[in-house]
């Protein structure tokens, strides 16, 4: 069995942190457990050899990131956010947004359940032929989860918190899996994006989901990312973060609305 030395561990942790903002300094066992099979398949003799490989091979770098980032989610996760979207944000937009255009970003979208839940909710809220444009951008650093999200195929367990009427309308059962309808899938654009790099956007967003992503970042990295989110939001726009996450007061001038919900001032 290939041994991960202290030097190799620190080199790998530093590289991932500097390039992707992810803090794996307390994840040594996770790195060893998830990477042994990868190293064996590549027929390398040490983590140092593999580390040299990923620095020169973007495809292999993606393989490593796919292995080391955890992506557990399900439809209607942290349901209070979707209730807030339905009860507060959408009625206000319906009243004041003359362009009938909503720009929403799911940052760290994993396998797509978050983005698709929001789209289904907006379809239910606005109804058919409403004239509203609410397509969503969904990004993640992992190409593996993006492929899964685009496919839109989910186990029954992932749908357990959805209203039965939504499941009946937007999914088709195929064996033990559920296939999401094209009606929903076509409203989400999936792209690979490293949140540590400059954002490539030319227009601001009305709402950003970045939930349970910053738990992998140290505080300095979190603060930089929060400041970037603030800049790319419209005045009055909202940021949803995970229920276990918080924003420091000096990170950006967000107004605290309720736990894990923040708003940019007008």
CB atoms within 10 A of CB 154: 20
- DSSP letter at 254 equals P
Nearest-angstrom CA–CA distance, 246 and 215: 10
Output the CA–CA distances (angstroms, integers) from residue 263 to 104, 115, 122, in the order listed: 14, 19, 20
Q: Which of 34, 135, 150, 169 is catalytic?
A: 34
Active site residue 182: no
Active site residue 34: yes
Burial class (CB within 10 angstroms; exposed 0-12, middle 13-18, buried 19+) of 265? exposed
Q: Which of 103, 140, 206, 211 is catalytic?
A: 140
**Active site (catalytic) residues:** 34, 140
């Amino acid at each position: 069995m290939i041994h991960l030395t202290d030097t190799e561990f620190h080199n790998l942790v530093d590289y991932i942190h500097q390039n992707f903002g992810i803090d794996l300094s307390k994840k040594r066992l996770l790195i060893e457990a998830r990477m042994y099979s990868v190293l064996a398949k590549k027929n390398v003799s040490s983590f140092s050899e593999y580390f040299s490989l990923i620095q020169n091979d973007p495809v292999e770098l993606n393989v490593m990131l796919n292995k080391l980032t955890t992506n557990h989610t399900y439809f209607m996760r942290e349901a209070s956010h979707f209730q807030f979207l339905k009860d507060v944000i959408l009625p206000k937009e319906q009243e004041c947004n003359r362009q009938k255009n909503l720009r929403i970003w799911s940052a760290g979208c994993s396998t797509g359940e978050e983005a698709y839940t929001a789209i289904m909710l907006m379809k239910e809220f606005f109804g058919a032929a409403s004239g509203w444009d609410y397509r969503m951008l969904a990004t993640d650093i992992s190409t593996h989860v993006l492929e899964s999200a685009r496919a839109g195929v989910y186990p029954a367990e992932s749908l357990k918190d959805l209203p039965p009427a939504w499941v009946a309308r937007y999914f088709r059962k195929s064996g033990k899996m559920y296939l999401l309808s094209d009606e929903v899938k076509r409203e989400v654009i999936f792209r690979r994006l490293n949140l540590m790099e400059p954002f490539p956007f030319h227009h601001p967003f009305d709402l950003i989901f970045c939930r349970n992503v910053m738990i992998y970042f140290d505080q300095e990295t979190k603060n930089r990312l929060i400041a970037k989110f603030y800049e790319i939001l419209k005045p009055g726009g909202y940021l949803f973060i995970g229920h276990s996450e918080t924003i420091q007061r000096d990170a950006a001038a967000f107004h605290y609305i309720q736990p894990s919900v923040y708003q940019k001032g007008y």
